Structure 1
Amino acid sequence: MGGEVPISLPSGGDDPRATLAAAEQVRRAALAPANPSPQDRSIAAEASQISTQAQADLAELQAQERAQQAEQSSQSRNDEQLKEEQREQEQRDKAAREERLEELRALARRSTQLGEQLVTLDNVQRNQNVGSVLDQLA
């Protein structure tokens, strides 16, 4: 049973949690068919990239929320001690965000590579028999 179902990719609005959920739903929907088409795989790869960016945005938002909570809870501390702790926390948060962002970028690159490989494999399968493809991959 073939057909076409319109899929709307999330635009990355103000709520990264909602964007993440929508991107994951689109990715699952695109990969739901037993034999996803190259277009389905392309949409799934794009949804994965949007999901990765939403995860990075969410991590940034959570870091900001933690910073705000830390600021509110520490108002009664000595100003110099507080400033030093905040600088140290900001450095740790920044390092953690950069590390997480690099991980997410690596995942996005890998996701894109896999999507391209799937599309290439699909195109090769259309033009050659399976045995010769396996011979080339070996």
Structure 2
Amino acid sequence: MPEVSTLRLYLLRAVYLIITVGLAMVIWPGVLHHEKPWSLPTGVVQCMLAAFSLLCALGLRYPLQMLPVLMWELLWKALWMLVVALPAWRSGQIDPATLGTLYECAFVIIIPLAMPWRYVYARYLQQPGDRWRPLRGK
């Protein structure tokens, strides 16, 4: 497994911290004190983002073990930008809500800058996966 530099670990921790603090300021007040019931989509999104912030807080202590959380964030935002925002922009029909979400998603650029790509490749693509069958005699 490639060694990850201390600088890269601190960059990852900075990403986890930015996400944790940002969501703590934006999401958690509404989760803890919403006055009326949420719609189903709003409730799902708010609770998923709250859970994501807690996982990112755990990433402050375990930056490499929590990399799948950052990969999930990078992938869903990249997909959303390609599948939703880009077609709306190209057709000239991007509305203010989509544009606002696009600006929020643009902060995802910090993740690939901090990601230890050689480690990700070695850990998630080269390393053998877990077994599918029980061990013999067990």
Q: TM-score, normalised by structure 1?
A: 0.32
- Quick check: which one's helix share is greater? 1
More relative contact order in 1 or in 2 (CA 8 Å, sep 6+)? 2
Q: TM-score, normalised by structure 2?
A: 0.32
Structure with bigger gyration radius: 1
